[in-house]
Amino acid sequence: MIVVMEPRATAGQVEAVKARLLKEGFRVHVSEGVERTIIGAIGDKTRLAGQSLEAMPGVEKIVPILKPFKLAAREFKPEDTIISLGTAQFGGGVIEVIAGPCAIETEELAMEAAMAVKAAGAKLFRGGAFKPRTSPYSFQGLGKEGLTILKRVREETGLLIVTEVMDARDVELVGEYADILQVGARNMQNFFLLRELGQQRHPVLLKRGPSATIEEWILAAEYVMSEGNNNVILCERGIRTFENYTRNTLDLSAVALAKQLTHLPVVVDPSHATGNWRLVTPMALAAIAAGADGLLIEVHPSPETAWSDGPQSLTPKHFQDLMVKVRDVASAVGKRWRERVK
């Protein structure tokens, strides 16, 4: 529920309501608006039976949150969630770019890709060590060895590391190497994994499932948040439709809608959404125009020899060009493009 305070409510009155809610086991978030303060509260309403919160001094009204998701809802927390990691920032009007190969193949290739994306202005490097492949006969990733390569990339370049964790049992291990833990599209409703991720401290990049509704996607974020980790970045990566000319169908309305329904940062992955490197730049620009807080782009030094997702990977040169264009669109829509690492 939302406790709406009167415009002239005092700080002491806000504190008293907050204290009452906390005492009854509620999770509370206070948002101080220009006009008035609102208090988002999640908990067992029956605990308040017989106590009239509305009668407390300074309270104007109590409004229930009708949506199935609560902690992720913008009603609960009107201001954007900002996730800061070193000099990177997701949310709050900044554009952040995560780039790198689909999979970690060799240390040399990973390092080459990392140097290239850093030179183009990305602050975060991606690459899968555990790969969720449709076929069990496809390359499954280097596993632990891939993680140690990622660690060396971070040491060498200073880039932050984003990599996928597929199994709840690997959360601790992958967390030792990664700055942001990615939940792949196929795992979006792996509730054990989501809960486990909610109990650790790293931000979670949550991909939308190929057939998930927007509500299911946000509820997946709610699973992570309900365990105590509020740092969730939503990632739209295309959904399955009847269309075969593209690998998936990029749902840009989901980006604008998720920004309205939730306070979480939303990034777009035009690489998996289209499956075609020629479509990556136009869709990346459209994503920024639609309100995305960032991008996830697959970049490979030689896409033609990539062990996975070569057809959708940009060369370093194409990625550099994309970054220049993204910067222009970002400033056109009033987003900030912060100082990049050299």
Select from 40, 146, 184, 303 the one that contacts ligand PEP (CB under 6 A): 184
Question: By beta-carbon distance, which residue lies closest to Mn ion?
Answer: 102
Is residue 146 part of the contact set for ligand PEP (CB under 6 A)? no
Sites for Mn ion among residues 63-82 (CB under 5 A): none
CA dihedral 303, 306, 309, 313 (to 10 degrees): -20
* Shortest Cβ 269–ligand PEP spacing (Å): 6
Place of tokens 């030689």: 302
* Shortest Cβ 165–Mn ion spacing (Å): 15
3 state DSSP class of 24 = coil
Burial 210-226 (b: 16+ CB within 10 A, else e): bebebeebbbbbbbbbb
Which tokens sit at 227? 């365990």
**Closest residue by Cα to residue 248 from 185, 181, 187, 340:** 185
3 state DSSP class of 290 = coil
**Closest residue by Cα to residue 232 from 244, 240, 247, 222:** 222
Is residue 335 part of the contact set for ligand PEP (CB under 6 A)? no
Stretch touching ligand PEP by CB under 6 A, among 23-31, 44-52, 109-117, 181-189: 181-189
Residues 94-123, mask of contacts with Mn ion (x by CB under 5 A): --------x---------------------
Sites for Mn ion among residues 294-323 (CB under 5 A): 309
Select from 59, 102, 284, 322 the one that contacts ligand PEP (CB under 6 A): 102
List interacting residues with Mn ion (CB under 5 A). 102, 309
List interacting residues with ligand PEP (CB under 6 A). 102, 128, 132, 184-186, 207, 237, 272
